[in-house]
Structure 1
Amino acid sequence: MDNQNISDLIEEYIKEILVEKDKIEIKRAEIASQFSCVPSQINYVIKTRFTVAQGYNVESKRGGGGYIRIKKITLNHHGDILTELENVVGNKLTQHDATAILQQLYNYDIINKREGALLHSLMSSEILQADFREKEDMIRANMIKIIIERLRYEEKE
């Protein structure tokens, strides 16, 4: 096996499948059985070698009917702006600051007016209704981070 470790072999196998298809669904247990390894080894390979930065979006569902769905993606051209906005977020974000970030996303044509309005609605204190302001600000920061991460790529059709 010309000096490759099991992680390299699993990665290579998955990437070979992705050459033929832009989206695949695999079962952790089946791949682990095929490579005579534990399912956590599959998790490790997916987590470290199939990231957004490497051009992949990964969704997973655990349990008996669980799967790992891997899609090829293309990073968009707004990467620098999104990185700057993400750096501003931190662990907490007030409603006012969230609105400012959404406004910047709109100003740079990353989101349209309707998307901005919908996202603004979701950032409101009325929707989040956390017990403490600090918890609400943490939830809002996490939401904005997830939105920015999703805006980094465009899925291939």
Structure 2
Amino acid sequence: MANISELIELHIKALLKDSPYDYVELQRNELASQFKCVPSQINYVLSTRFTTDNGYVVESRRGGGGYIRIIKIPLDRHDNAAVQIYRLVGNDINQSQAEAIIKRLAEEEFITPREARIFRSAMDRNSLRLELPWRDNLRADLLKAMLAAVFRED
């Protein structure tokens, strides 16, 4: 069974998918009440699952009538998406950052679920049996090579 953070994440993503815009506006307290959790749980989900690395911007307005606006930043299929991701990868990347990028690629259907599993397996620290910082450097090089294969236009 999914934990509360996963349920909240899935709910927000479903709202985003159903929205005619690339954003949704939510009330933190209403969302917490809906999931029978404390508002800080909502904050945790927003700060860990809806980051810019994951393709989101979260805006918050406090006070009466305050809201949380979650904006989905799609990878631009017209400007080179590979370049956007290369910038995220950089010269080194840890496993959780790599998994976030892979998850985003799968969600936006740049890669298949099967390719995502292969990517995650290759990025796993158990597959890359090196000491830091070499492991993170190798992970970045491998991810960029796999991305080049995905985005190559033959």
Bin of the TM-score, shorter chain as denominator length? 0.3 to 0.5
Instruction: State TM-score, norm by structure 1.
Output: 0.47
Instruction: State TM-score, norm by structure 2.
Output: 0.48
Tell which has more relative contact order, 1 or 2 (C-alpha 8 A, sep 6+): 1
